Structure 1
Amino acid sequence: MRQNSATAQTLGSSTPIGAVSAETRPDAWQRTNGAVLQRDLRHAYKTIVSAEGMYLFDSEGRPYMDAVGGAAVNIIGHGVGRVSEALAAASASTSFVYSAVFTNPWQERLAESLSALAPVDDGKVFFCSGGSEANESAVKIARQYHLDRGRATKWKIISRGMSYHGNTLSMLGLSGRPSWSSRYSPYIASSPRIAPAFCYRCPFSAEFPGCGTPCADDLERSILQEGPETVAAFIAEPVSGTSLAGAVPVAGYYERIREICDRYDILFIADEVLTGYGRTGKPFAIEHWDAKPDILTVGKGLGSGYAPLAACVASGRIVETIRSTSGQYVHGFTYGGMPMACAVGVQVYEIVEENELFDRSAEMGEHLHHRLRELAGRRDEVGDVRGIGLLAGVELVADKKTKRPFDKDHNIAKRVVEVAETRGVLLREGTPGVNHGSGGDQIQISPPYIITREEIDELVTVLDESIGAVLHG
């Protein structure tokens, strides 16, 4: 397994990449499946004890190339020393400041940077700890905006099928991911959904560009069906995350969405929790289209996994409406805007800027997609390669011509990911049900932006070998 330390050192890490010695691995680190309530109660979890650059190291010293950035979280690589140093300095200065009472310099500084970066007019930033909180904040801002304008009937949020906006009950209600929400349905309020923008398995059996983007027009149909006077906002991931593993809407899609929202006085919320902060090769994925959102959410890459950090960015027009009427944004989280998390965010932002990592994401993304298209050309089991920048999805099919999926009981994608892990590369299984909710296997790739061309070649080789091992023995 190749271990490239050059990039990590460029970003300020003084610790060389390498396995952790036995002396620095206390016995407690090697315990697994103890008192922790794990997500998979039948899985024996390996213990990760250190990480540097592109690699994680387990308690046996074995390296794993992190080709998924944890969960599309890490963007600057692991073990960057200046981030942990900034975290230590902030905690030494002040460990906690409650944002309902005070602000702090780290929060103010990060907000200025994020406001200047985000494609939201005169954006005002509300910090929180994760993507679910950020999207919840966006929905509450949308609701309060309409209330303060005297439009109390506007409360519904329209979302898309095959989408994901968070794991709280309210966000599961907006997410088109039945595999995660169905068991909690008694607690979840239903919300209107429109068709996903998914060309490979188009729900309208149409073909671009002759189709006229019926997936976008479906928003107008839903608005008219619900009643425009009842709809507050439309929320969408500009490029799909694990639900559709990198599905990219066609040219003109979001311009049409923006037009429809404006026509019916509806806010457009861009959920950039996964796709934002350079994942698609631009600071925010929505910038691939000429359509500014009214509210934008960002998470994951904002703190690059060094601290729980996310944010909601609302346009100045929305915030000014609230300020000049009720004067209060009735919402908040205990740890929102805390100094240590925002100090990490400041360092991540500066590292991205200094090393031009958004541009690097675009450059390395081109190589990644080139290699994946080559893989699709020689493997009949690869039905589709999709995504943009350093977000890629690979859909595996039993029949390439008809797009027929494998029997869902065969768990092909899960098995491919497991084999790849034994070969030292971490991939991520996309959400099951990509075939209109009935079967389908997809794999997501979303590495840190410091990945090299050689490491991309290696991960594609391992993916190729893993597919072959699962399907052909």
Structure 2
Amino acid sequence: MVMSQAIFNDGNVVVEPSHLRVRSEQHQQASTGSGVLHRSLHDDPLQVVSAEGNYLYLNNGQKILDATGGAAVTCLGHGNRRVREAVMDQMNTVSYCHSLFYATSAAEELANLLVESTDGEMTRAFFISSGSEAIEAALKLARQFHLEKQPSEPQRTHFISRHQSYHGTTLGALGAGGHVARRKLYEPMLGVKSSHVRPCYRYRGADAFHEDSAYVQLLEAELEAEFQRVGPANVAAFLAEPVVGAALGCVPAVPGYFQAVRRVCDKYGALLILDEVMCGAGRIGPEPSERYPNPLHAWQDPQFGVVPDLMTMGKGLGGGYMPIAAMLASKKVVDVLTSGTGSFSHGQTYQGHPVACRAALEVQRIIKHDNLVANVRKQGMLLGELLKDRLGSHPAVGDIRGKGLFWGIEFVANKTTKEPFDPKDAVASGIHELGMQDPHNISLYPGTGTSDGARGDHVLSAPAYTVAADDIRQIVDVTANVINQFFWAKNGDRSV
């Protein structure tokens, strides 16, 4: 008997061992004796033998529509020729050198491109291999900033984030985040001083308010109260995603929220760290404005309207062609270090890896040259409209929300009360597994803990920036079919 995977460590599905379900006959397979420590030790995953465009080809003959780009990663789709050639060119030049001693044009050009994309608001970029590492770097740099500024404030060691937030799997990033289920196993080891306020989550938090402004006032007051509780002079930074990805399922902050957060941080001298590992690099299709006519970053969208002190990038930065993430630091932060020690007291072996930087540089050049953020806005609007049209009235669909090519569907047992399903039902993982079977052959990104960190299910759709309208229609059609079949099989519901 082969059981469903229990995934604890990447920000998507958390399934307790007692809740594991039998997989379908199609996906059952005996262990091949793999030497890899896969996400599950109960069975080996199917192997991808090739990938092209929006599709993954598996060793069992299936052709899977990758409607989520993995974890909102493959922003250009699979097998982009220009990126492949850029990577090979870099490998023919230099594949690795230690950043303590050397620089490369790949890292320098990528940093300059990203700094320029912020209109100079960020002035330095730090390149590492994953989003978790980017968050670790941001936490460390926030600490160093308060140590080196004048007057120094060494007591600023506390970080405030939000409940149901997810910022990475390394111990520092996990400690700073607020997802109960993901923290649970490692709670005794988490050393970061942190606390959490409620998320800006309109579907579950704003029922009592007719206007977003009143909801924002409540959240601002709660954040201010938390500063007071821990001592305003002890807070190093506030950390949040502009659009919450895996933890809540593509929940954008309401207009005015981040301006309120910025006010509180500035009032008490704390930094604002924006985590754009999942929602950044064009993923939400930020709207252009007079100040940012060609926006790339989520914080540049007028809906959010703030400039962070530190920001992180990840998944869409390199599009999955190489492991790479980045932390970008504002002029305010960099100036303090320049006037102080003149260095960031942190470093890693693969920091600024030339091949990774060259891959990301080409990905970002393609996004800019091909005006793909505009396509994200266009196709994202269609994706949202079609999802709401096909699934908005489904009795098990509580909310459909998102921005750009980053949409989430939240499932509820009771549409009126918004009661989530029992975790034993494993709704999100069940929908994902059904989608992976014939005749659907689609990958939907599942998530749990949506409601309170332990209960609640959602799936994400995050296709490549290159998708056309026909691709969007196919994704919505198949997604709706999967959801309808899952709930029909579960309780005889043939709605929609």
Structure 2 counterpart of 1:424, which letter? N
Structure 2 counterpart of 1:421, which letter? M
Q: Distance in 1 between matches of 2:422 and 2:203?
A: 19
For the Cα contact (< 8 Å) 1:66–1:447, is it kept in 2?
yes
Structure 1 counterpart of 2:363, which letter? V
Aligned residues: 443
Structure 2 counterpart of 1:67, which letter? A
Question: Which string of whole-angstrom CA distances, capped at 9 and with x for unpartnered residues, describes residues 327-368 of structure 1?
Answer: 221101111111111111111011111211111111110000
In structure 1, the partner of 2:405 is 390
Q: Distance in 1 between matches of 2:284 and 2:213?
A: 26
Question: Which string of whole-angstrom CA distances, capped at 9 and with x for unpartnered residues, describes residues 40-75 of structure 1?
Answer: 222441100111111111123321111111111110
Runs of 4+ in 1 over 6 A off after TM superposition: none
Question: Which string of whole-angstrom CA distances, capped at 9 and with x for unpartnered residues, describes residues 57-103 of structure 1?
Answer: 11233211111111111101100112111111111111211111111
Structure 2 counterpart of 1:363, which letter? K
For the Cα contact (< 8 Å) 2:162–2:197, is it kept in 1?
yes
Among 132, 155, 171, the residue aligned to 1:153:
155
Unaligned runs of at least 5 residues, structure 1: 1-29
Answering whether residue 478 of structure 2 is matched by residue 462 of structure 1, we say yes
Q: Distance in 2 between matches of 1:43 and 1:208?
A: 49
For the Cα contact (< 8 Å) 1:128–1:309, is it kept in 2?
yes
| Change over 3 Å in CA distance of 1:33–1:316 after alignment to 2 | farther
Q: Distance in 2 between matches of 1:455 and 1:266?
A: 44
In structure 2, the partner of 1:308 is 323
Question: Which string of whole-angstrom CA distances, capped at 9 and with x for unpartnered residues, describes residues 4-58 of structure 1?
Answer: xxxxxxxxxxxxxxxxxxxxxxxxxx99551111112224411001111111111
For the Cα contact (< 8 Å) 1:120–1:313, is it kept in 2?
no
| Change over 3 Å in CA distance of 1:227–1:203 after alignment to 2 | farther
In structure 2, the partner of 1:11 is none
Query: Residue 205 of structure 1: CA displacement?
Result: 5.0
In structure 1, the partner of 2:199 is 196
In structure 1, the partner of 2:494 is none
Query: Residue 212 of structure 1: CA displacement?
Result: 4.0
Q: Distance in 2 between matches of 1:290 and 1:119?
A: 14
Among 389, 414, 417, the residue aligned to 1:402:
417
Q: Distance in 2 between matches of 1:183 and 1:368?
A: 37
Q: For 1:191, what is the secondary structure of its paired residue?
A: strand
Answering whether residue 377 of structure 2 is matched by residue 359 of structure 1, we say no
In structure 2, the partner of 1:22 is none
In structure 1, the partner of 2:269 is 265
Aligned ranges 1:70-219 → 2 under 5 Å: 70-118=70-118, 121-149=121-149, 150-189=152-191, 190-202=193-205, 206-209=209-212, 211-213=214-216, 214-219=218-223
TM-score of the superposed pair, with normalisation by structure 2: 0.86
Structure 2 counterpart of 1:443, which letter? V
For the Cα contact (< 8 Å) 1:134–1:310, is it kept in 2?
yes
For the Cα contact (< 8 Å) 1:398–1:406, is it kept in 2?
yes
Unaligned runs of at least 5 residues, structure 2: 1-29, 287-295, 490-496
| Change over 3 Å in CA distance of 1:50–1:31 after alignment to 2 | farther
For the Cα contact (< 8 Å) 1:68–1:445, is it kept in 2?
yes
| Change over 3 Å in CA distance of 1:438–1:299 after alignment to 2 | closer
Structure 2 counterpart of 1:285, which letter? A
TM-score of the superposed pair, with normalisation by structure 1: 0.90
Structure 2 counterpart of 1:202, which letter? G
Among 353, 377, 383, the residue aligned to 1:368:
383
Structure 1 counterpart of 2:77, which letter? G
Larger CA deviation: 191-200 vs 204-213? 204-213
| Change over 3 Å in CA distance of 1:202–1:120 after alignment to 2 | farther
Structure 1 counterpart of 2:482, which letter? S
Q: Distance in 2 between matches of 1:445 and 1:329?
A: 37
For the Cα contact (< 8 Å) 1:159–1:194, is it kept in 2?
yes
In structure 1, the partner of 2:430 is 415
Q: For 1:211, what is the secondary structure of its paired residue?
A: helix
| Change over 3 Å in CA distance of 1:120–1:204 after alignment to 2 | farther
Query: Residue 264 of structure 1: CA displacement?
Result: 0.7
Q: Distance in 2 between matches of 1:228 and 1:176?
A: 20
Q: Distance in 2 between matches of 1:162 and 1:206?
A: 21
Give RMSD over aligned pairs.
1.7
Among 429, 450, 462, the residue aligned to 1:446:
462
For the Cα contact (< 8 Å) 1:91–1:340, is it kept in 2?
yes
Q: Distance in 2 between matches of 1:171 and 1:408?
A: 25
Q: For 1:100, what is the secondary structure of its paired residue?
A: coil
Q: Distance in 1 between matches of 2:31 and 2:355?
A: 29
For the Cα contact (< 8 Å) 1:33–1:45, is it kept in 2?
no
Q: Distance in 2 between matches of 1:32 and 1:74?
A: 28
Q: Distance in 2 between matches of 1:204 and 1:124?
A: 41
Among 217, 225, 250, the residue aligned to 2:254:
250
Q: Distance in 2 between matches of 1:269 and 1:177?
A: 18
Query: Residue 208 of structure 1: CA displacement?
Result: 3.4
Structure 2 counterpart of 1:263, which letter? K
Q: Distance in 2 between matches of 1:119 and 1:220?
A: 30
In structure 1, the partner of 2:493 is none
In structure 2, the partner of 1:278 is 282
For the Cα contact (< 8 Å) 2:278–2:315, is it kept in 1?
yes
Structure 1 counterpart of 2:157, which letter? W
Report % sequence identity: 36
| Change over 3 Å in CA distance of 1:84–1:217 after alignment to 2 | same
